[in-house]
Structure 1
Amino acid sequence: MQYELLNIEPLYRGFFALNRYRLRFERYDGGWSPEISREIFERGHAVAVLPFDPKRREVVLIEQFRPGAFEAPSGPWLTEIVAGMIEPNETVESVARREMAEEAGLEPLKLIPITRYWVSPGGTTESIYLFLALIDAAPTDTFFGLPEEHEDIKLHTMSLDEALARVDSGIICSAAPIIALQWLERHLPQFVGG
């Protein structure tokens, strides 16, 4: 299967970017689509990390204000996992370690790749590299974030069971923590011995 990217037209540049793509693609019947135009949100790529203490069976989650979630059941303060954007010349592992320190005051003992997924490929280029970070103890501080990035982050340490119950009840309602927590539930025996 092939595609032709005919043109990318910049529409907006600000905190993020918006481009118009003109393209066509090979169809399953062997023909080609007509030329189509799509506005694509250029978000960049991110790394998200679920800190997990296997001895205590506890996870560390963060809570912060998210302006895109005004319609969330509990409002725009979402319970999430540590995450950050990949800057030029950074590896995904270095971003994971940087964000763990900035957002939770933690250093992972080990980073375990979970998956990479596309956030909403019909309208954005963003993908997320998802990790599990093994930690030895929950942080003792509660509030984190970089003032220059206007971050105001509150930490929550809880059992894996409590976090999964929050997924089931809809309190945790963004993709990265849902995917990471459900992955951890499926793979738990390899980290806690059964």
Structure 2
Amino acid sequence: MIKKPQFNCNDVEVLGRETLYERFFRVEKISLRHKLFKGGWSKNMNREIFLRGNAVAVVLYDPVHDLIGLIEQFRVGAMDEANGPWLYEVVAGMVEEGEEPEAVARRELIEEANVTPYHLEFICDFLSSPGGSDEKLFLYCALSDLTSAGGIHGLADENEDINLHCFAADDVFAELLGGSFNNAAALICLQWLQMNRERLRKIHGQE
């Protein structure tokens, strides 16, 4: 059995917080100290954190026809990538105050893919980059008939230009670690789907 970490949030003393930037996202400078493994406390230190909040990500799968739905869209953070800044991703969106992650997943499936799933299965949650951000992602697998899915979607008032593609599962898994899906949420969702594919087909794969 893996033991819990030795320390928790009560072993951190926050000495001060300062907002450095605030628009759609927020950046803070936090002054703090924390307990040390060898005993005692660390020196006072400053850490900058990108406050992004919670998000969801959803991989689309059709277990009857063994199809995977992935969206393609422009990402400014990928401008320097060799293959360019248009990425294959899973459907994703931010969790607003008062919202439940599953409700956000269903909303984003409509907005980004025009798909309503008949089954939604929770995969896991994870911190995307805890060394400098508080973002936590909640991952899901959405089962749906993808035989007629596809096309351009997204909200025009948010400048979204999203192209939904449906691929044979074998083709996706053959390229899984080859650089075609170079973002964490897509990789985790697709690896989970690869491990659970036969179970989902057995349970949900009947016409």
Q: Into which bin does the TM-score normalised by the smaller protein fall? A: over 0.9
Q: Distance in 1 between matches of 2:174 and 2:182?
A: 12
What secondary structure sits across from 1:4 in the alignment? strand
The change in CA–CA distance for 1:119 and 1:126 in structure 2 (over 3 A counts) is same
| Cα RMSD, aligned residues only | 1.3
Q: Distance in 1 between matches of 2:160 and 2:123?
A: 26
Instruction: Report Cα offsets for 1:130-149 as digits up to 9, x if no partner.
Output: 00011123444410000011
Q: Distance in 2 between matches of 1:5 and 1:190?
A: 46
Q: CA deviation at 1:6?
A: 1.8
* Contact 1:105–1:139, Cα closer than 8 Å, also in 2: no
Q: Distance in 1 between matches of 2:149 and 2:36?
A: 55
Please tell me whether residue 105 in structure 1 is matched to residue 119 in structure 2.
no
- Report percent identity of matched pairs: 43
Matched length:
194
Question: What amino acid does structure 1 have at the position aligned with 2:198?
Answer: P
Q: CA deviation at 1:166?
A: 2.8
The change in CA–CA distance for 1:141 and 1:193 in structure 2 (over 3 A counts) is closer
Instruction: Report Cα offsets for 1:56-93 as digits up to 9, x if no partner.
Output: 11110000000011122211101000000001111101
Using the TM superposition, name which of 123-132 and 166-175 deviates more. Answer: 166-175
Deviating runs (4+, > 4 A) in structure 1? none
What secondary structure sits across from 2:175 in the alignment? helix
Instruction: Report Cα offsets for 1:28-56 as digits up to 9, x if no partner.
Output: 11221111111111111100000100011
Match of 1:123 in 2: 132
Q: Distance in 2 between matches of 1:141 and 1:116?
A: 27
**Among 22, 26, 29, which residue is 2:35 paired with?**
26
* Contact 2:150–2:165, Cα closer than 8 Å, also in 1: no
TM-score, normalization: structure 2?
0.90
Please tell me whether residue 133 in structure 1 is matched to residue 139 in structure 2.
no
Match of 1:64 in 2: 73
Please tell me whether residue 176 in structure 1 is matched to residue 185 in structure 2.
yes
Extract unaligned runs of 5+ from structure 1: none
Q: Distance in 2 between matches of 1:162 and 1:136?
A: 18
Question: What amino acid does structure 2 have at the position aligned with 1:162?
Answer: D
Q: Distance in 2 between matches of 1:7 and 1:53?
A: 50
Match of 2:152 in 1: 143
Extract unaligned runs of 5+ from structure 2: 1-6
Q: Distance in 2 between matches of 1:141 and 1:188?
A: 21
Match of 1:160 in 2: 169
* Contact 1:119–1:127, Cα closer than 8 Å, also in 2: yes
Q: Distance in 2 between matches of 1:25 and 1:74?
A: 42
Match of 1:9 in 2: 18
Match of 2:54 in 1: 45
